[in-house]
Each structure stands twice: as C-alpha cells, then as structure tokens.
A and B are shown apart, each in its own frame.
Chain A
Amino acid sequence: MKAERDVPSSTRADGEPDADVVARIHRGEVGALGLLYDRYAADVRRVVARLGVASADVDDVVQVTFLDVLAAAARYDGRASAKSWLVGLAVMHVRRRRRGLGRLAARVAAWGREPRPPVVTPEDGAAIDEEVARVQRALDALSPKKREVIVLVAIEGMSGEEAASILGVPVATVWTRLHHARRELVDAVFEEES
C-alpha cells in the first residue's frame, strides 16, 4: 500500500509522486488530472489500442478512463505508479465497450471490417514484415480474455500479480490464460511456416 511511496514514481522533473497527484485530483484539482494525463495518457492509449479497440474509438476510451479518475481517485491505494491503476480503469471500459459492441455485431459485420489504423510512419514501414502481420492477425483472433493477458504481460511487461489485480482474477489464472494464448499465437504464427 503506502509502503511503496518512496519508489520513484516518475522520471518527470517535477517529481511529485503519483499518489499525491491523485490525492489532489480527489480534492477537485482538475489541473492535477492534466498532470496525470501528461504522465500516462500515452501508456493508456497504447494499451487500449492493443486490446483491439477500433482506432476511431481509442481516444474516446482514453477520455472516459481519465474522467473515471475523478470518482475513482477516492479509492486510490497509494501505489507508487498510477499506470497499472489507470490501465485497470481502461480495461473496464474496453470490456464494457466490447459488450456493447457485441449487440451491434451483426450490423457492424454488414459494414465490413474496421480498417486498421494507418500503419506507421514511412521509415518504420519497411520493418513491418510478414511475421508481424501474422502476429497481428493471430492477436486479433484471440478471445478477449487471452488477448488481455498477452497485452498486459507479454507486451506491456507487467507482472503476473499486476495483471491479476487489473483483471480481477487469481495469478494462477493469468499464467494459465497466458499459456493457452501463447500456444495459439505460436501455432498461428510459426506452425504455418514450418
């Protein structure tokens, strides 16, 4: 809990601990929300996109996630870095949106598949090789639960404990899901070439 407070929470020069920033948000200081946004919006946005939210909706999910902070700040547990906490809020919104979209699935299917985000800057474009394209397709084909653990642990590098807390499941469940998800991905990406 509060014991982590002396861990550096941010490399920013202002150095105010995340927990203090969240406390100020709790007191109604909207400017502190801007500070939190500056620190973590890019992380939240990246996770939301990797969880498979359509590119047109990513910014909206990021917005509602940070707006959630106004109410959720009261429940902040004092952890040194707010990143995993924010990612947890974002995951809830991604799930909610997915459920809502499920009801629209038939209509969406009629419109055709959402185009992928404009892939990357030209100089990176050459690096987008066939293997990455296969991994992207395989990731898109995973079930939402498997995708969550892949994104949080395998891509974002979170610990099993962090992921478990974000996803609301026991750590063992994280490892099990991760194992099955990796097997699916490996099968899809590598078996077809060998």
Chain B
Amino acid sequence: MTRDRCERTWQVEALEDGRLEDNDRASLERHLPTCAACTRAKERLASLHEALRRIPHDEPAELDRRRARAELLARANGAVVAPRRGRPWRLALVAAVLVAVAGLLVGRRAALPSRGGEAAPRFEVTDVASADYTTTREGAMSGVTLRSGRASFQVDRVAPGARFVVRVPDGEVEVRGTRFVVDVAGGRTRAVEVSEGVVEVRVAGFTGVLRAGERWPAAAAAASGAGGPGPAVTAEPSGVTTNDAPPSSALAAPPTAPAAWSASPASSTAVAALPSAPAAAPSAATSAPAPPAASTVAAAPAAVTAPSASSSAADGAGVRFGQAVQSYRAGDYGEAERRFTAFVRDYPGDSRAEDAMFLVADGRARRGDERGAKAAALEYLRRYPDGLRAPAARRLAGAP
C-alpha cells in the first residue's frame, strides 16, 4: 500500500472511460480495494466529474426559447427562399398574389388543375366564403396563403418531391394528400382539422402531425406564437358574408386587379397600422356564430368546420365578441369596452380574449383617454408579453 504512487493508477482513468478490456477491468477492480493511491485517484476523478456536471448553466425561459425558435425559422426561410426566388420574400409574395388572381376561379370552387408535366400537387379549395387567400404554384410546389377566414382543402396524392403548403400568418400546414380545414383569424391560426390523410402543422411555435379525425389545437387555443407577424390582416365578422351568396367581390374580381383580396369589402381589410388605422377590424372572422359555410363539395361536414379553437367558448362567446366588435366598429368605444371587458371576464381562456384586451386599450386611445389606454395596454402586455398585439400595445403604453 504505497501512499501516493502506484503504477496502475493510469488504469483508473481508462476504467472510467470504458477503455479497459474485460480482463484488465476485473483485475483493476480486484486491485482497487487494496491500493490507497488508486482508490484516491478514483474518488478524485469521480468527484471532479460530479463537480463538472454541477457547474450551472442558465436555461432560457420558455418565452425566450420560442422567440429564438421563431427567429431561427424566419432566418431560415429567408435563406431558403431568397436564393431560389432571387428576391426578397415580400416581393415574391406580390408575385404570388398575381398568380393567384390569374388562377382564381369561377364561382366558389377553386380547382387548379396541374399543368402538363409539372408535379405540383392538384388541390381544391372549398368553403371559401369567409376566406381571404391566394394560391401559388411554383415548380413542384403548390399552395395557398390563407390570411384569414376558413377554407377547406382537398389535395390529391402528393408525388414524391412535390409539396403542398398552406401558409398561415403564424406558420404553415403541410400536406401529404388529404382533406382538411384551416381556420385563421386576426393573424392567427385558430384551428386545423383533418378529415382524411395526414398533415403536418408548424404554427405558432408548434410542430406536429395531425391524422384523420385530429385537430389542432386540441383544447383551448394556446397563446399566440412568438415573433408573430406584424400587422394582422383581419376580416369582417363572418356574419356579414352570407354563405350562399358567392363572395363575388372576392372571386369575381377582375383578374387584372393586383390585390383582389384587399379590394373586396366582404372579404377582408388590411390593417396597416394599429392603432392609428381607424378601420381596424378586430379578428372576428370565425367568431360570429355564422352557420357553417355551405360547402359545395361535402369536403367538410359542419361539425368539422365549426371553429374549435376556443373550446371554452360556446356559441355565446362568438355572439358576444361579435357584439363587442360591432360596438367598436360603430365608434361606441364605451359600450365596446364594457362588452370586451365582460368577454375577457367570462371567457378568459378564449383565444379572442387577447384581442378583446387589446381593443379595450385601443378604444380608450381613440376616445382620447391616454392614461386609460396606457393602463390597459400595460395590462395587456402583462398578460400577453409575447402577444400578437404586443408591438402596438407597447406603443400605446408609451414604451420604447
């Protein structure tokens, strides 16, 4: 038992690293209890490793993680899209709108047959009464940009290498040959429901696969995703649009109109700069309890198309939110505030509660109540620090 030295001490490290052959290991394990030097070396190594693993490292808060993730995907999108298109995404989107207008269909059924030779998936959009969308196709990729409202999609089998993607303000839904419904309001995706096949959902920080009969979100709508898009494109309450009357302005717009969707009074209003834009329409596209759009194809039974994002909200929530929005739009901000406040109180888990809280602040600002607007904006930010309206709320709160 030498005190400090043993010619086998080096093996202790090899043992720790799993580098000893079976025979050597067994031999060293027999040696260890008899050798103070080797035992000490083993103990020190163990406590060194234990201390190393206890060195703290800060974990990011969930919100920061979501922000970082959203930023990564935004940068990655730029990296993927820019070289292929040779120009920024925004410009590319304008081009996509033009393509879509040219391809916009007669009546309510949006069938885009494949052009010869190209492998881009064939698809059909139905139930478009309240939907504000454009279609795109490029090479083997086709898809729809859905800004608000609800639309049903039926997609033929997608060939290998081909893609069909529905872009929503806060993410995308990718398809592999299926039937499904996507529901967008206020710049956020409220629901994706699959009646056939499989889709992949990448929305608001969520990534996952939905199979037939499944929906996202499963329960009450989650808080808005990190780093959501800026000004939301929102739609009128869908009660305004009657389902049987074709939303002619949307679909019968002259193909030359570069922005058919924004020219359509029944379909949507682009909100450029909340809160200054007086025409700001809160997201109510799917909130009013309009009867489920009568589908020309029975792609989606009513039960499936009914907005499900707010499981906490029965139809009453939609009615009440719609009433609050009506007051707001009529310029009766006092009444709107009462209704929005009651809505938030009664349906705190509803995805529209966020909009309601913001619109309280916005309504106060429109009435000239700056201090009240600031207080309400701060309250909104406290509850939705990462919310879709956070940038506008920060302006109202007077924050930098």
Contact = CB atoms under 8 A, between A and B. Distances in A.
A190 B44 contact: yes
A67 interface: yes
Given A38-B69, A55-B58, A63-B68, A30 B52 contact: no
B177 to A, nearest CB: 16
Interface in A94-146: 117-120, 124, 127-128, 131-132, 134-136, 139
Nearest to B79: A70
Contacts of A169: none
B68 A31 contact: no
A22 interface: no
A30 B89 CA distance: 14
Q: How large is the interface on B (under 10, 10 to 19, 20 to 34, 35 or more residues)?
A: 35 or more
B1 interface: no
A155 B52 contact: yes
A160 B51 CA distance: 21
A185 B79 contact: no
B72 interface: yes
Contacts of A119: 56, 58
Contacts of A190: 44, 47-48
A14 interface: yes
Interface residues of A, number: 51
Given A41-B69, A50-B55, A127-B54, A186 B76 contact: no
Interface string B7-51: 000100110011100000000000000000000000011011101
B72 A160 contact: no
Nearest to B14: A175
A128 B49 CA distance: 15
Contacts of A19: none
A159 B348 CA distance: 50
Contact of B57 (A27, A41, A46, A182): A46
Interface string A34-64: 1101100110011001100001000100110
Nearest to A120: B56
A109 to B, nearest CB: 24
A20 interface: no
B335 interface: no
A154 interface: yes
A52 to B, nearest CB: 11
The 7 A-B residue pairs with the shortest CB-CB distance, nearest first, are A31-B202, A135-B51, A120-B56, A117-B58, A49-B57, A30-B76, A35-B207
Given A14-B208, A63-B72, A155-B53, 12 more contacts: A30-B80, A34-B69, A37-B72, A41-B65, A59-B68, A119-B58, A153-B17, A155-B55, A159-B18, A182-B13, A185-B48, A186-B48
